[in-house]
């Protein structure tokens, strides 16, 4: 225990009562945060201190990103995703506080324990895209969400608010807490009398009606349903990752979807909130929980509208929709891939004499020559005329081809990952096992420098 930090914030003698029932310890530690406490771990020692001292205690941790780079992310994209997707402050964005640098296939991050937890969860979500992933949302909250849908019966006649909440907690078999510590007269709210008679309403709806006179609402926090002032709920932001590759295939469509979310939901973009695509089809949103729920509904409505307008496509999983994409590659790379890709990725989905009903096809077409650049150079700009050969200042001029591939969206995702690995190569085995990956090898060339043709 950091007694000095607690003394500085007058927390050392604050009485606290709480309990855990076969739950992770961090739930209890996090429940202390509204009271001004915080915690961190250093050298295998748990330090309980004030929020001020915890924020000032920053650690440098490393995050291997070779797996994410194999999925097509650059270091710059991942750094931007972290800076916009977690709650911390950063030197590059805010001019002070935490810092991120990339060294090979490793990110080094300096920030507080709480921010490191958010970063680890965000990077893990990016590795396994899902329809919606709430960052740092414990699995136990699924139980709370189910309990909020169950019907309850109440008959309160001028009972203290805390007594009413205790009754609802027992009916729902879930913890319900009252947190008005941010209000000057917060302690008196717990004793305020309430009168309410309802039968057959859900626990969620009953809480809404019960708390409305106090301008309060509920949130899920550390495996508990917590009643807080509505004004405070509007200041609490949560990060979610949405896999919307079925809705937007490129940067232009991603930006259009971002504008739609901004105009049609409560999603805002300012210093604290963001809507960010680290790459097309992967959306990171840091918003209020209400805004995230609204975004989820809008995305599902959009999916249903697309299914209705394209009855021949994506009847089930949208990622199984069949689309044609154009991949521009150096000719020496493209030629062998015409035969190899159908053998390396989902062989039973490619059309052949033995599989006449399969949907996958691949064709090679010639493309304009281009400059072969280093893998980390900016992509070539395809604006030069055919009679004006490109400059060779940055590399040799080579022949390019375009692979025209008809496949499902899910298969195209695997193809992109494979092409990025062919471009960059894998790190040496010794380096990979020691540090999670290195710079890797490869001939470069910027495979995806030419926008998809539609």
Q: Which one of 48-57, 171-180, 186-195 scores highest in mean pLDDT?
A: 171-180
Residue 110 lies in a domain: no
pLDDT of 440 > 70? The answer is no
Q: Where do we find the tokens 């609402």? A: 217
Q: Specify whether the CB–CB gap between 421 and 396 falls below 8 A.
A: no
Among 186, 209, 233, identify where a domain stops: 233
The answer to the question of residue 189 being in a domain is yes
Indicate if the pLDDT at residue 378 is higher than 80. no
Are 245 and 293 in contact by the 8 Å Cβ rule? The answer is no
Domain residue limits at 357:
321-435
How many whole angstroms separate alpha carbon 312 and alpha carbon 322?
Answer: 10
Residue partners of 381: CB distance under 8 A and separation at least 6: none
Q: Is 242 a member of any domain? A: no
Angstrom distance (rounded) from CA 4 to CA 34: 19
Does residue 363 fall inside a structural domain? yes
Q: pLDDT class for 385, splitting at 50, 70, 90?
A: very low
Q: What's the pLDDT at 314? A: 43
Give tens-digit pLDDT for 239-294. 999 999 989 988 889 999 999 999 999 999 988 899 999 999 999 999 999 999 99
- CB-based contacts of 135-142 (< 8 A; 24+ apart in sequence): 135/85, 135/86, 135/238, 135/239, 135/240, 135/241, 136/238, 136/239, 137/220, 137/238, 138/24, 138/27, 138/222, 138/223, 140/23, 140/223, 141/220, 141/223
Whether 22 is in a domain gets the answer yes
pLDDT digits (tens, 9 = 90+) for 81-138: 999 999 888 876 665 678 999 999 999 999 988 899 899 999 999 999 999 999 988 8
326 and 430 share one domain: yes
| Domain edge (last residue) among 218, 233, 248 | 233
- pLDDT(51) > 70: yes
Which of 233, 264, 288 terminates a domain? The answer is: 233
The enclosing domain of 184 has a CATH number of: 3.55.50.30
Q: Is 351 a member of any domain?
A: yes
Is residue 356, in this structure, part of any structural domain at all? yes
**For residue 86, with 0-12 CB atoms within 10 Å meaning exposed, 13-18 middle and 19 or more buried, which class applies?**
buried
In a domain, 374, yes or no: yes
Report the number of distinct structural domains present in the chain: 3
């Amino acid at each position: 225990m950091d007694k000095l930090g607690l003394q500085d914030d007058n927390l050392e003698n604050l009485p606290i009562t709480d309990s855990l029932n076969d739950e992770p310890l961090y739930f209890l530690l996090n429940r202390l945060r509204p009271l001004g406490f915080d915690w961190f771990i250093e050298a295998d020692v748990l330090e309980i201190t004030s929020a001020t001292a915890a924020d000032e205690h920053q650690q440098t941790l490393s995050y291997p990103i070779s797996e994410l780079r194999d999925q097509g992310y650059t270091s710059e994209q991942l750094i931007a995703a972290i800076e916009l997707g977690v709650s911390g402050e950063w030197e590059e964005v805010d001019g002070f506080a935490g810092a991120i640098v990339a060294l090979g296939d490793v990110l080094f991050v300096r920030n507080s324990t709480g921010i490191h937890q958010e970063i680890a969860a965000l990077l893990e979500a990016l590795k396994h895209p899902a329809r919606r992933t709430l960052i740092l949302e414990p699995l136990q909250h699924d139980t709370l969400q189910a309990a909020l849908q169950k019907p309850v019966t109440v008959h309160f006649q001028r009972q203290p608010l805390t007594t009413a909440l205790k009754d609802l907690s027992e009916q729902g078999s879930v913890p319900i807490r009252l947190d008005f510590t941010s209000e000057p007269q917060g302690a008196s709210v717990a004793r305020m009398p309430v009168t309410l008679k309802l039968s057959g309403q859900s626990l969620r709806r009953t809480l809404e009606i019960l708390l409305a006179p106090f301008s309060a609402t509920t949130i899920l926090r550390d495996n508990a349903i917590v009643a807080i002032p509505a004004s405070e709920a509007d200041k609490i932001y949560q990060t979610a990752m949405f896999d919307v590759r079925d809705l937007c295939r490129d940067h232009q469509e991603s930006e259009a979807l971002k504008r739609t979310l901004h105009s049609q939901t409560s999603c805002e973009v300012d210093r604290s909130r963001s809507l960010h695509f680290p790459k097309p089809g992967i959306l990171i949103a840091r918003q209020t929980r209400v805004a995230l729920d609204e975004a989820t509904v809008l995305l599902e409505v959009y999916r249903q509208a697309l299914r209705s307008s394209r009855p021949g496509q994506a009847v089930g999983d949208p990622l199984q929709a069949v689309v044609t994409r154009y991949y521009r590659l150096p000719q020496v790379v493209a030629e062998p891939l015409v035969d190899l890709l159908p053998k390396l990725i989902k062989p039973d989905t490619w059309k052949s004499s033995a599989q006449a009903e399969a949907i996958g096809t691949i064709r090679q077409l010639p493309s304009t020559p281009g400059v072969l650049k280093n893998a980390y150079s900016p992509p070539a700009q395809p604006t030069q005329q055919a009679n004006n050969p490109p400059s060779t200042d940055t590399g040799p001029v080579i022949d390019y081809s375009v692979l025209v591939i008809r496949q499902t969206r899910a298969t195209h995702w695997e193809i992109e990952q494979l092409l990025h690995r062919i471009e960059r190569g894998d790190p040496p085995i010794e380096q990979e096992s020691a540090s999670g990956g290195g710079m890797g090898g490869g001939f470069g060339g910027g495979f995806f420098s030419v926008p998809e043709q539609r």
